[in-house]
Amino acid sequence: MEFFATASSGTEKALQKELIELGFQSVRLNSGGIPFLGEIEDGWRACLHSRIAQRIQLVLARFPAPDEQALYDGVKNIDWIPYLRPDLSLAVGAFCHSSNLTHTNYIAQKVKDAIVDQQREVYNARSNVVRDDPDVRVFVFVGSNKATIYLDMSGTPLFQRGYRLEKGEAPLKETLAAAMLMYSGWDRKTPLWDPMCGSGTIAIEAGLWARNIPPGIFREKFGFERWGDFDDKSAETMRRLRGEARRYATGNMPKIIASDYDPVVLKAAEENARRAGIKISFREARIEEIQADGAKRIVVTNPPFNERLAADLKFYRSLGAAFSRLHGCRVTFITSNPALIQCVPLKGIETIELKNGDLDCRFCIYDIP
Ligand SMILES: C[S@@+](CC[C@H](N)C(=O)[O-])C[C@H]1O[C@@H](n2cnc3c(N)ncnc32)[C@H](O)[C@@H]1O
């Protein structure tokens, strides 16, 4: 079976590395996501274990779709019966580019028609279409007049881990925080510090990774557990995989420090960490006041971008000065604001372009001499 792990823009290389480390087969680099091959259980395992993927999708079919009839016929040729009983609800999402078919709503409509027409022929009944929380979610991509049909395995996107109930003003997606940790080169042994931790996402994701706690363990159900073919035997297998995932969580954790100058967000971060079962050393501190204490640490952080949270040049200069005092440490941060990068008086060793929602960002890596 072919799977496609979707990635937010710029995180593909981190996701590819993660999937290889998790032991998946035929993992290839692609823009927008990472394809890999395996048995259906591998798709289930990816949902449980991937920290960086947004969704895991099963590729059902690829076929030429130069016009609506070809799209309809191609979708109707797929056997939907195992996945979709008429009592299960359905949603179809579509994307397209460089093709004769140009309207995503129309493409989604055609795909839905082909699926429910097949159901009517077999059951004389059809699924309801719902937008929110469907039992079965289908994605269609039409590019260069070829259609690819995906079945979403995740349900709600994988960044919604379930531990972060309290948020600061500008929280990072958990999957992006996990990608930053992977790109930072952290070895999961060196002490880690987020000095502008907000709701604690980076520190908590670091703790989960260091302890090998699979992020999907907080989920009650994934999308595939609502498919028509998910029977008692499948549920038994999934119980076994969840049990194995819990036993897998045995890693030791180095010291993880999370600080922020705002006591209210720190309290929220503490609650989130408690729910995730991660022990973090929380401190109320202003970044401008930090001094080197000789400890070798890695800093992974998300300073205010001057978008949702204000930040001026004076603050960025003091941030740059504070980072430069951390002799012997690796300092990494994400920003959408080039002014911050200009205020760090050091030569970076790497800069990676990433998207944070709609914002074009850079993830910058420095080794402080
Ligand atoms: C973009 S938010 C971090 C969001 C965080 N990554 C999350 O996922 O929730 C930036 C954080 O920097 C903190 N901050 C701003 N100025 C600061 C300063 N001078 N010292 C320490 N923290 C500061 C803010 O309180 C805010 O929580």
Structure confidence at residue 254 (pLDDT): 95
Inform me whether the pLDDT recorded for 248 exceeds 90: no
pLDDT at 346: 87
In this structure, the answer to whether residues 18 and 61 fall within a common structural domain is: yes
The backbone torsions φ and ψ at residue 43, rounded to the nearest 5 degrees and listed phi first, read -65, -40
CA-based nearest residue to 218, from 170, 280, 274 = 274
> Are the C-beta atoms of residues 37 and 23 closer than 8 Å to each other?
no
pLDDT band for position 141 (cuts 50, 70, 90): very high
Distance 79 CA to ligand 1 centre (A): 50
Instruction: Name the most confidently modeled range: 85-94, 157-166, 303-312, 335-344.
Output: 85-94
Asked whether residue 132 falls in the same domain as residue 21, the answer is yes
What is residue 121's predicted lDDT score, i.e. its pLDDT? 97
* Rg value, the chain, Cα: 23
Q: Are 181 and 290 part of one and the same domain?
A: yes
252 — pLDDT class (breaks 50, 70, 90):
confident
Of residues 326 and 292, more confidently modeled: 326
Residue 256 confidence (pLDDT) above 80: yes
Does the C-beta of 301 come closer than 6 Å to ligand 1? no
Q: What is the mean pLDDT of residues 185-206?
A: 97
- From the CA of 260, how far away is ligand 1's center (Å)? 6
pTM of the full structure: 0.95
CATH of the domain at 76: 3.30.2130.30
DSSP string, 47-67: HHH-SS-SEEEEEEEEEE-SS
Average of per-residue pLDDT values in the chain:
94
Is residue 10 located within the same domain as residue 66? yes
167 CA closest ligand 1 atom index: 9
Distance 282 CA to ligand 1 centre (A): 13
In a domain, 304, yes or no: yes
Residue 160 falls inside a structural domain: no
| Res. 115 pLDDT band, cuts 50 70 90 | very high
Instruction: Report strand pairing: 136-143 vs 90-97.
Output: parallel
Q: Which pLDDT value is given to residue 345?
A: 87
- Indicate if ligand 1 lies below 6 Å from the C-beta of 304: yes
Select from 104, 119, 152 the last residue of a domain.
152
Q: Is residue 299 part of a domain?
A: yes
DSSP state of 215: G
What's the rounded Cα separation, in Å, for the pair 224 and 355?
Answer: 28
In the chain, how many domains are there?
A: 2
Query: Which residues form the domain of 265?
Result: 174-213+250-367
